[in-house]
Structure 1
Amino acid sequence: MKQRFKYRVYPTQEQKVSLSKLFGCTRVVWNDGVNLCRYAYLEGLQKPSNGQLQKELITQAKLTEEREWLSEVSVVPLQQSLNDLNQAYQNFFKSCQGQILWYST
């Protein structure tokens, strides 16, 4: 049997600012990844791999002026958000496969 623990965190004001900055950056990277995958689908292209997404949305985006603020947070949560996005796509397409269910009327 698995145990579950419940923890409550009381961050300081400085930690709240850091956490909100981190969550905002991961949300932006996630949304950019969704938009890039959607664009590839609409253009009839193959979905970009996880490595391509990380290269374009994190590494190269940090070099631009409009996304240089991504450098203020750790790269690990940004990479994890793209890993989660990739896993979400895999789970979705895996659920679309399988046998057709026939219902009798």
Structure 2
Amino acid sequence: MGSGLGSKFTMRVNKIVRKVKKLFQREQTYEEWLSSTNAFIKKQHNNLADSLELLHNAMNEKKEREKGLLNAAVEERNEPLRTVGQFAEYAV
């Protein structure tokens, strides 16, 4: 995986850490803090899951494109052989 993905992930983790630190600085009861922290972490988890799903989909699309290009190249390579085969049928 590229370095861009790692740095994007690190940025998101750092954002979570900053948010949690900010929550600690507020005067809240433990239950309030826990509730808001859990909600925030759940939201961030969903964002990360969405990002991973998008990455997975992009990788699959790339594989399919490459497979299509490979199949097209094989077809193109085989085309002259088909043409020669057709002429051979007429010659017989």
With CA pairs under 8 Å and 6+ residues apart, which has the higher RCO, 1 or 2?
1
What TM-score comes out, normalization by structure 2 length? 0.43
Over alpha carbons, which structure has the higher Rg? 2
